[in-house]
Chain A
């Protein structure tokens, strides 16, 4: 199950991170909403009445996320490189935990990690430090204790 090591790519990281930040700023400027992926998804699916004006853009945002990889593929002529574990029960467990945890903690890497930190929210800082520590500890156990 261990995935291959990867190269340090600081420039691509800075450019990509800048685009993510730009997206968050655009969403705040035009719609006044936080670009937190799990929050967007939760409220797009929410059974509680959300006004159409505040729901449709969420589906459009998710559609934009889904369009990104095919468009990058078309533009560069190269498939997007990635390595995903093919241990399906483990990936199902990981998905359950990520969805459940971000619902309970009211945010994920984008909501707490980007928008929350950018707003200097102590609540988000605590969330980010906590999930980082939990993730690092998990990888340590998976790769160096069990693995």
Chain B
């Protein structure tokens, strides 16, 4: 049952990325190209996604627990540190070069574009390396994996 929900949520997410155009790096880069032929579509994608999530979370988080798990797991960290900023800068540079962030890249994988077939394994390698660096520098923290109920 949990896997079914997981699958459907992933499917819905992927369809949303495709319908919205986020799965197309050309569209993402056109959004990021403020000083060129700017395509503002992605601001509408983000706006709609955040609004629906904001309203939905307000309703859902009134519950004591999710339907199929014992408790809500929300990131408890509020820390804004060098690691967060460095990670965001590195991520942003990669996003600006390739036009792919993780969701669209995985969604685009079955379309078999050579660039995607190279991007995704490299991304997983980078992910693995980033987790290692994080664990090496701060073995005790494990922040976002920590179970925290409502803030």
Please pick, from B90, B91, B108, the residue contacting A82 in the complex, using a CB distance under 8 A.
Answer: B108
Would A91 and B119 count as touching, CB distance under 8 A?
Answer: yes
Specify the main secondary structure of chain A where it touches its partner. Answer: helix
Min Cβ gap B51→A in Å is 7
Q: What's the A-B contact tally at a CB cutoff of 8 Å? A: 519
A83 to B118, CA, bound (A): 14
Residues of chain B within 8 A (CB-CB) of A94 are: 94-95, 97-100, 119, 122
Interface residues of A in 90-146 (CB under 8 A from B): 90-110, 112-123, 126-128, 130-140, 142-144
Binary contact readout B93-116 vs A (1 if CB under 8 angstroms, 0 otherwise) = 111111111110111111101111
Q: List 8 A-B contacts (CB under 8 A).
A: A15-B20, A17-B49, A18-B49, A32-B66, A37-B101, A87-B115, A95-B122, A106-B77
List B residues at the A interface (Cβ < 8 Å). Answer: 2-27, 29-30, 32-37, 39-54, 56-57, 60-61, 63, 65-69, 71-75, 77-80, 83-103, 105-111, 113-116, 118-131, 133-134, 143-145
